[in-house]
Structures are given as structure tokens and as C-alpha cells.
Structure 1
Amino acid sequence: MADQQTSDAPTEFDAFDAFAAKNALNGVGVVKDPYPRLAELRSQCPVHQGSVSARFDLPGADRIIAAEDEQASVYTYQGVDAVLRDAASFSSSWYRMSIGDVIGRTILEMDPPEHRRFRSLISPAFTRREMDRWEHGFVRGIVDAYLDRFRADGRADLAADFAFHYPIHVIAVAAGLPVVDLPEFYRHTALLTNVAVSQDERLAASRDLGAMVQELIDARRAEPADDLIGVLVRARLNDEDWDGASDRQLTDDEIVAFLRLLVPAGAQTTYRAITTVLYGLLSHPDQLAAVRADRSLIPQAIEEGLRWEVPLLAVGRTAVRDTVVEGCPVRAGQHVNAPVAAANHDPSRWERPDEFDIFRTPVPHVSFGVGPHVCLGIHAARMEMRVALDLLLDRLPGLRLDPDTPCDGVTGLGLRTAVRLPVVFDTP
């Protein structure tokens, strides 16, 4: 499966237009540095009433989803950590309101114990062992195929030419989707979670993507395979406390919904994360040189990049009871924004938090979340980023920012991305 699909050159397509409205809504290209304002808010009070976007005078997805008086936002590391760990007080059911209609019911909106049961069915598809199989089966081949397209040119845009396409390509091949269908696959997923486009467009994309995934499910039920869909089709759980069933499998609808969640969550956030880590290194040539000389530094460079610029500003919860966060009241029914970007820049946890420094003493961040809903694809994201950095440094000697082409770097509020990463390098 993997060898056949990665032997072909990557298909040309341009999905940037589908992201333009989403980027604009989330302040990409508008907000360069949100951290001074986030620090000001944190110093005033750990918890503020209202949305995050309103504090920056931006429309924002959070303001579309809920009214200002129905929201509270937490700006400290301790507060965000407490909200994400306390599933009894803060429910993930908020996501049912924001994306449930277009994705379907998934683990994202479930609370314990239901969440634990469904996660245990899905998690075998994302173990470290499975990611090792992905890496050597097709991920490295996908990276090489993209680099082959511009390696002889001596210049490229690592965001537009590489990072934008690479993670979605990985998921498509992992799922068993023919590479020829990749442009349509990306178009559907670009619309799916984009609240900046109409609900009709999102529902149409949901139906079309569901049909593509259903074809793969039918094929795997007829003939087993080792791809992602095949693993999910075979997954079983022995649990007598599950609606009276002692042997539970995922239904077709549950697999379809999970893929609708996985693709935008995995592909888009990994794309944004790759651009921010690359920009961090490229804009700090001494640290880039250290990583080039010692590849064992790649994992800590990735973790620092994720802490420094998290792809998604905040995650959401709904308070299910009156409670207190960092000494501040939060009332039942409020939508609670947990801006992990603010938490990752809390000076009570990190010295010089706004600086990119891969040599700082490692301290766990919350970019992948914490608690019951810690990111299921954490091993996949880290593997994809590690492979990308390793092969970029191997195959693009002298990699550096293009001194003749302006680069805005990382921008955005709700989403943080380096939309363009113009670079030059030595040719073979």
C-alpha cells in the first residue's frame, strides 16, 4: 500500500483559497505578536469574562460560537492546566455546538467514562510502534518526494511548497486513500471545520468526505489491510459496562466521524506547527546550526517550538457547575476558553517565555493538552515533525531564510502560522 502510493510524484493542487477566510477570521497576517496583550491580561487577573478575540478587537471564531456574556477566558498556566484536567467540572461537550453538526459524534465532545471507552478503541492506531511503521513505510518517502521537486532550484517556500501539503498527504496515505484523490480530499477537509464559510458548504464537504471514507471502510471490511482504516475496522474492546455489550467494535458512522475529526485536526495543526518550528530555527541561525550538527537536538527543538508558538491559541470547555478557577468564579453553563498560548508564556513557569530557546531547561507545555483529552495524535505529530526536520537538514544544505524575500514570520491569534517561509540553500 505505502510503497505503491509514495512512488508517484505528489499531485499538484492549491488549497490556499479554502484557508484564506479561516486565516482572516483568526487574525493570520494581522496579529503579529499577541503575547504582550496576553501577558497584560494575565497580570490583571487570571480569569476574564468574555472571549479572547474581543480583547484584540477581532471577530474570531470564539465570538461566532458564543455570546460575550456566555464566555470566560483563563490566562495562566495553572488555570489552563486545572481546566483541562478537571473533566468533572469542565465538559468537552462544547465541541458538539461548534463542530458536531458537520463532523458527527467523536471523542472530542465526549466526557469520561464514555470518552475513555471510545479512546481505547481508537488509540491502537496511534501507538509509537504504529508510528514507526508509518515513518519507514511511507512518511520518509513522502518528504523526499516533495523535496525532490525543488531541491535543485536552490530556493523554495517551505510553507507553501512543503509544510502545507505534507501532513495531509501522510494522513491520506495512512488511511489508504489513493494519491490521485488527494486534491479533493484536501478541499473537503479545508472546508469542514471552517466557521468562516457557510454551514451549507461545510455540510456538503462533510457528506463528500464521509462518502470517500465509507468506500475505504467497505473495502477493509471485505479485505483486511494494515492501513489506518483497517486498524479501526478491526479494533475491539471487551467491556461489560458498555451498554450491556461485552465485545464492542466501532460502527461505520463512528469511523467516518473520527476521520472527519482526524484529518483537519491532524493535518492542519501539524502544518502550522511545522512552519512555526522551522521559523523559530531559521530566525535563530545559531540554534539551527546546533541542530544541524547534532540531530539528537531535534526533539527538544520541536518541543520548544510548540511551546513558543502553539498552532491553536485556545481549546474550549463548558462549565457544568459553578466553580472557581485561580480564585475567580466561573458559573455553570459558561463557555470557558483555555488559551494554551497564554499558558505556554506564563513567566511563573518559564524564564524569558517569549524567547525561542531550544537549550532552556525542559518543562512540560500544554500545546498537546493535558488530562483525559491529551492529543491522541501526539506521537504522529512528533514523528512527522522530526522526520521533516531531519530530511530538510539532510537534503537542503546551508538552509537559511531568503535574505532577498520579506518574511512576516508567525502571525495570527486564533491560529498561529508562518504562511510563507522563503528560504535558500546550496544546490547539489
Structure 2
Amino acid sequence: MHGSEPTSPAKSTRHAPTEAVVVDFSHHSDAFAERPFQVLAELRELAPIAWSTAHDGFWVVTDHQAVIDGLADYERFTSRFGPAIPANPFGTRHIPVGLDPPLHTTYRRVLNSWFSKAEVVRREPELKTLVDEIVQDLAERGSWDFVADLADVVPGAVTLGILGWDRSRRLELLEVMARGLKNAASTDPDVVARNAEGNRWIREQILAEARDRRVNPRADLMTVLSTEPIADGVPMTDEEISDTVVFLLLAGFHTTSGALTALLVQMARQPDLRARLEQDRSLIPDAIEEVIRIFAPITALARRATEDTKLGGVAMKEGDWTLFVNVAANHDPAAFPEPETVDLGRNRAKSVAFGWGIHRCMGLHLARTILRLEVEAVFDLLPGHVIDLAGTRRARHLGIGYFYETVPAHLATA
């Protein structure tokens, strides 16, 4: 298939299924990162559900209906083996996304109260103060990078604040996570060893915080996870705490960052959109949803078949890995006409930008609020800002997320 890279040699959990369309698609390849939407459109046209020989073999699903059907059916397509192909370097059993009901329900119930819409509304003044302080600093500097100086700052600071961690630790945590995710598909022994060391280090930090809360409890989520009965009336084990906090750190630091920079870059490329949003702030939430639909920060989610079954008329075997490509579903013209066009009035009820089914993003209310506050602050405090589109660089390895590495900008008068 044009735009994908061959794998050598193809290693599969089994031979390519009979009558399946076989491709060499890898969501971690440079070729995919260079032209993701075109590659996925070509793949969907060739076969909405195809068998890829990459990463030991897996089904790649690009059809919108098949994606939402599969993600909604946790009984046939389990999350228990992790959400990524190949396995995430920071572990496979992230809680609660690495669980199915009834355990998923138990653990998510504990976390929901910290990320509910009501809780986010209550905390909005605090969030606005944080965002405004960060953006005001950019205005005083005159030039900055929207990735390193805003998009990567706010979500991490908010996440650490909810956990009750020292916010000054944001950079060291971000560095370890970013390095691991960038090299998630590497088979180089040295890289694999560094990723494993990064995973060990993060989990050591988590357990150190847990030990501290057991001695010095506070009004934070870390104390709840470390001390309170969760399942069957007993506190979480150290492993369960680690699996939960790893998930919160990865999700909290990265996805909102990717969404903000995608929107800011889109406004730079489409000045009429920027002008429209500046003049009518009530349209900002629609712009956020639409840009997230197009440039989904979570590109794909992996599941594993629990039985011999069929999806979209394609026969799958028990144990088969399946990659549900969210961004492909959101670009399926059968679901979203002219899918790459920013249409603020579009019906996005079936967008899978925040996932689908029971694993739909727990932090979506928080993410939406942070993004709105960031855009409003940029409009208010950085009027006339200019993004250097020639200097903007998107991540060369998409993996499971659509991110920018750098988005340099400055005030027009600087």
C-alpha cells in the first residue's frame, strides 16, 4: 500500500488470515507520520478491515461503524492486555482503561468524582488563574514555543495538582514519558532497556508518594488511591496504585497538549477561523471539538479478541489483536462529509476523538475546559500573536497520538 513501510520479516501471531486483505501498515512508521490522513484513506478504500503484518500481526480497522462497534463491545474485544500495539513501555494494565466490567466500573467510580463536570466547574476559577499566569508570562517574554511553554505546561500542572504532587516535577516526568512513547515501537535492546528503566523510575516515584500519603494523608487524589478502600473493601495494592497513576500521568500530560497545538496551528493556517473565534468566543467549544475530531490526540486504541468472531463481515480468531483507528473513523466520509474541512456546525455526536463506549475519556470535561481557557487566554493576552508555520514541526512518529514537537510564536510587535 502506498505510504506505508514494509516490515522485515513479517512476524505474526499466526499466518495472515484466509481471504483477508494483507498490508504492511504500521502506525509507528515514518511513512504514516508524514501523511497520516492519506495513508488511512488509502487503507480504508483498499479494505476497511485489513490484516497488517507489522508488530507480530494485527487487524487494522479504519471504518467508522466498525470502530464504534468494536470499541463498544468489551465482551468480544477486551482491554485487559493493554491499549497499545506493541505494548506500552509503561505497562499494559493501566487502570481503569486496562480493565473490563465489573472491575472497570469499580475503579472508574472512584476516579470519576475527581474529573466530573461538576468538579471541573467548581475548579474553573483556579484553572483560569493558572492558565492566565502562564500565558501572561509568554506575553512578557515576547516570543515562545506553544508546545514547551504552554501546551505541555498546563495539563501536567493540573494533573499533578489533582494528585497532590509537587508541580515542579512536571519537566522530569514529561521527559521520561515523552522519550518512552516516542520509542514505544523500538526493538533496539538499548532503547528497550532505557524504556524499562523509565517505567521503573516512574513507578518508584508513584510508590514514594503513596508511602508518604499513608503517613501524611492530604485532601488529594493520591491519598484516596493510597489509603481508602476501593474494591472488596480493601485499599489498592502498590501495583494497582502504580497502574492507575501511570495512566493518569500519561493521559493528563499528553492528550490535551496535542489538542491545543493542533487548534492553534489550524487557526494560523486558517486566519478566517481565528478571526471568527476571536469575535465570537461562544464558538470556541465547537472549534475545539472539530479540531480534535480531525487531529485526534489519541490516534488509535488496541483491543484483543476474546473469541472467534466477526466484525464488519471479517472473521477474526480468539487472541487476535485489533487496532481501532480513531482518527480514521473520524475521517470516514460516510460518517463525516468532507472530513478534513473544519465545520463548526457539524454533527459530531459520533466522533470517537474521546474514545467510545465504557472507556470513553474520563477526563473529557477537564480537557475541554482547559483547552477553552487556554484559547481564551491566548486571545486576551497574546493579541496579534504570530505562529512561525515554517518552523512548526509535527512529531515524526505518530504512534498512538497526533502531536507537535514545536510551534514557535511571537507577538507581532516583538
TM surpasses 0.5:
yes
Cα distance in 2 between the residues matched to 1:149 and 1:270: 20
Indicate the residue corresponding to 1:167 in structure 2. Answer: 155
Q: CA distance change for structure 1 residues 386 and 105 in 2, over 3 Å: closer, same or farther?
A: closer
Secondary structure of the corresponding residue to residue 329 of structure 1: strand
Q: CA distance change for structure 1 residues 131 and 78 in 2, over 3 Å: closer, same or farther?
A: same
Q: Give the letter aligned to residue 92 of structure 1.
A: S
Cα distance in 1 between the residues matched to 2:273 and 2:30: 26
Q: 1:304-349 deviations in whole A, cap 9, x for unaligned?
A: 0110111232110011111111112222211101011110001111
Indicate the residue corresponding to 1:99 in structure 2. Answer: 88
Deviates more, 1:312-321 or 1:413-422: 413-422
Which consecutive residues of structure 2, in runs of 5 or more, have no partner in the other structure?
A: 1-25
Q: CA distance change for structure 1 residues 398 and 147 in 2, over 3 Å: closer, same or farther?
A: same
Say whether the 8 Å CA contact 2:156–2:253 is kept in structure 1: yes
Indicate the residue corresponding to 2:17 in structure 1. Answer: none
1:271 aligns with 2:264: no
1:244-259 equivalent positions in 2, closer than 5 A: 245=232, 247-259=233-245
Cα distance in 2 between the residues matched to 1:384 and 1:123: 17
Cα distance in 2 between the residues matched to 1:122 and 1:267: 17
Say whether the 8 Å CA contact 1:128–1:379 is kept in structure 2: yes
Q: Give the letter aligned to residue 317 of structure 2.
A: R
The alignment-based identity, stated in percent, is: 28
Cα distance in 2 between the residues matched to 1:413 and 1:310: 11
1:357 aligns with 2:367: no
Q: CA distance change for structure 1 residues 419 and 135 in 2, over 3 Å: closer, same or farther?
A: same
Secondary structure of the corresponding residue to residue 359 of structure 1: coil
1:187-266 equivalent positions in 2, closer than 5 A: 187-193=175-181, 194-195=183-184, 196=186, 198-233=191-226, 236=229, 245=232, 247-266=233-252
**Shift in Å, 1:370:** 0.8
Secondary structure of the corresponding residue to residue 108 of structure 1: coil
Say whether the 8 Å CA contact 2:139–2:382 is kept in structure 1: yes
Cα distance in 2 between the residues matched to 1:189 and 1:369: 21
Secondary structure of the corresponding residue to residue 193 of structure 2: helix
Indicate the residue corresponding to 2:68 in structure 1. Answer: 81
Cα distance in 2 between the residues matched to 1:318 and 1:142: 40
Cα distance in 1 between the residues matched to 2:145 and 2:171: 20
1:372 aligns with 2:374: no
Indicate the residue corresponding to 1:47 in structure 2. Answer: 49
Q: CA distance change for structure 1 residues 303 and 25 in 2, over 3 Å: closer, same or farther?
A: closer
**Shift in Å, 1:283:** 1.5
Cα distance in 2 between the residues matched to 1:274 and 1:371: 24
Indicate the residue corresponding to 1:5 in structure 2. Answer: none
Q: Give the letter aligned to residue 116 of structure 2.
A: T
Secondary structure of the corresponding residue to residue 406 of structure 2: coil
**Shift in Å, 1:233:** 4.2
Cα distance in 2 between the residues matched to 1:299 and 1:253: 38
**Shift in Å, 1:268:** 1.4
Secondary structure of the corresponding residue to residue 94 of structure 1: coil
**Shift in Å, 1:28:** 6.8
Cα distance in 1 between the residues matched to 2:236 and 2:395: 39
Q: Work out which of the residue numbers 102, 120, 130 in structure 1 matches 2:119.
A: 130
Instruction: Let me know the Cα RMSD of the aligned residues.
Output: 2.8
Deviates more, 1:122-131 or 1:247-256: 247-256
Cα distance in 1 between the residues matched to 2:80 and 2:363: 20
Indicate the residue corresponding to 2:331 in structure 1. Answer: 345
**Shift in Å, 1:167:** 1.7
Q: Work out which of the residue numbers 295, 298, 304 in structure 2 matches 1:309.
A: 295
Q: 1:246-274 deviations in whole A, cap 9, x for unaligned?
A: x3443343222211111112211221121
Q: 1:124-182 deviations in whole A, cap 9, x for unaligned?
A: 22112222344333x33332333233313443321232213332222222222223333
Say whether the 8 Å CA contact 1:103–1:192 is kept in structure 2: no
Which consecutive residues of structure 1, in runs of 5 or more, have no partner in the other structure?
A: 1-23, 52-62
Secondary structure of the corresponding residue to residue 33 of structure 2: coil
Cα distance in 2 between the residues matched to 1:28 and 1:173: 35
Q: Work out which of the residue numbers 99, 103, 106 in structure 2 matches 1:114.
A: 103
Deviates more, 1:271-280 or 1:252-261: 252-261
Cα distance in 1 between the residues matched to 2:369 and 2:227: 24
Indicate the residue corresponding to 1:146 in structure 2. Answer: 134
Q: Give the letter aligned to residue 65 of structure 2.
A: Q
Indicate the residue corresponding to 2:23 in structure 1. Answer: none
Q: Give the letter aligned to residue 79 of structure 1.
A: A
Q: Work out which of the residue numbers 28, 35, 38 in structure 1 matches 2:37.
A: 35
Indicate the residue corresponding to 2:143 in structure 1. Answer: 155
Cα distance in 2 between the residues matched to 1:46 and 1:211: 42
Q: Work out which of the residue numbers 67, 73, 78 in structure 1 matches 2:56.
A: 67
